[in-house]
């Protein structure tokens, strides 16, 4: 008798597409990068202020496609910050190095500093109020390597078996910076940062505040355990849930060029920065927009 096998996800929600474009936009062209997640946006200069109509179209495209890609956008740190502020209040990261202004994080990798962001995660999920979105600008990129991948965690939720959905509905997980940034701190520094940023408890399945989609909201790097479960059961369940981000049908992969920009919804996606380019140089700048408490 043949044993049951899991052959991968069955068909899931896909983006609408007509003649290579997502329909319904007047001011911008939105070209889907995959059937499920991601789109390249044409017809906008991110150095210029957004009028109301253009802002609404970009916001709608972000909610619909979850990650937007822009090519040939030689923006300054100040212009990147100004663009981000159209979408909400911007955070200052307490651990990562700043660029020209405190709100702009600078990731500078070379033969002395290797990339360490190659693990699936959602930015600052360890905050009581995590981010709404992040905007990443490529300053300098290697000739080969250094791609970034995003996973649609609403699609990941859709793809779960019904019995697993029922099992995790209503569960909560603890998100903690100590498993990543905390490893670089002395015991005294860790204690001080823990006072400022205590572990946060968020739903394992959150509901997107704008689209109403259910989203699988646990990640490998920041989640320590599921509340109320024994350690072994929690670890086993987290491993199964976190593995959903690695399913290719839920992903988009982006090849960076100088002055490419990616803008993603941190509530509904996770991302993974491929660290295959060492010792080549890669310089990126990121702004992160504050969101709302997950529910």
How is domain 29-290 classified at the architecture level of CATH? 4-Layer Sandwich (3.60)
Helices (H), the chain: 52-65, 77-85, 153-158, 162-168, 187-196, 231-242
Rounded CA-CA distance 190/241 in Å is 28
| DSSP assignment letter at 193 | H
Rounded CA-CA distance 262/244 in Å is 22
Peptide bond into 225 cis (omega under 30): no
| Active site (annotated) includes residue 162 | no
pLDDT in the model for residue 1: 45
Category of 10 on φ-ψ map: left (φ > 0), alpha (ψ -120 to 50) or beta: beta
pLDDT in the model for residue 209: 97
Which residue out of 127, 137, 271, 282 is catalytically annotated?
271
| Active site (annotated) includes residue 121 | yes
Helices (H), 115-251: 153-158, 162-168, 187-196, 231-242
Element (H, E) at 30: strand 29-32
pLDDT in the model for residue 2: 47
| Active site (annotated) includes residue 123 | yes
Which residue out of 93, 206, 282, 286 is catalytically annotated?
286
Locate the domains of the chain by residue range. Answer: 29-290
| Active site (annotated) includes residue 286 | yes
pLDDT in the model for residue 6: 62
pLDDT in the model for residue 137: 98
pLDDT average per 10 residues of sequence, the chain (295 residues)? 61 89 97 98 97 98 98 97 98 90 95 93 96 98 97 97 96 94 89 93 98 97 97 97 97 98 98 97 98 97
pLDDT in the model for residue 5: 53
Q: Tell me the whole-structure pTM to 2 decimals.
A: 0.95
Burial 31-45 (b: 16+ CB within 10 A, else e): ebbbebbbbbbeebe
Element (H, E) at 106: strand 105-109
What residues pair up with 121 in beta bridges, in sequence order?
A: 271
Which residue out of 121, 127, 206, 267 is catalytically annotated?
121
Q: Is 179 exposed, middle or buried (0-12, 13-18, 19+ CB in 10 A)?
A: middle
The upper half-sphere exposure of residue 18, i.e. CA atoms within 13 Å in the direction of its Cβ, equals 4
């Amino acid at each position: 008798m043949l044993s049951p096998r899991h052959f991968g996800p069955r068909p899931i929600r896909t983006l609408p597409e007509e003649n290579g474009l997502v329909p319904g936009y007047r001011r911008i062209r939105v070209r889907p990068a995959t059937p499920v997640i991601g789109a390249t946006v044409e017809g906008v200069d991110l150095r210029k202020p957004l009028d109301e109509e253009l802002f609404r179209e970009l916001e709608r495209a972000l909610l619909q496609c979850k990650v937007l890609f822009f090519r040939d956008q030689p923006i300054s740190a100040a212009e990147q910050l100004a663009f981000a502020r159209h979408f909400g209040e911007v955070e200052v990261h307490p651990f990562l190095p700043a660029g020209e202004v405190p709100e702009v994080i600078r990731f500078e990798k070379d033969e002395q500093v290797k990339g360490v962001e190659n693990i699936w995660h959602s930015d600052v999920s360890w905050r009581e109020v995590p981010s709404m979105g992040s905007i990443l600008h490529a300053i300098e990129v290697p000739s080969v390597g250094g791609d970034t991948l995003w996973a649609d965690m609403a699609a990941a939720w859709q793809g779960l078996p019904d019995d697993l959905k029922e099992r995790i509905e209503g569960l909560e997980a603890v998100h903690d910076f100590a498993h990543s940034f905390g490893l670089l701190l002395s015991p005294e520094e860790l204690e001080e940062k823990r006072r400022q940023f205590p572990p946060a408890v968020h739903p394992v399945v959150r509901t997107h505040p704008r689209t109403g989609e259910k989203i699988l909201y646990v990640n490998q790097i920041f989640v320590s355990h599921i509340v109320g479960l024994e350690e072994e059961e929690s670890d086993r369940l987290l491993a199964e849930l976190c593995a959903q981000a690695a399913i290719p049908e839920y992903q988009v992969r982006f090849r960076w060029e100088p002055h490419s920009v990616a803008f993603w919804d941190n509530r509904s996606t996770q991302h993974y920065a491929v660290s295959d380019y060492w010792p080549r140089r890669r310089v990126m700048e990121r702004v992160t927009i504050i969101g709302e408490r997950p529910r």
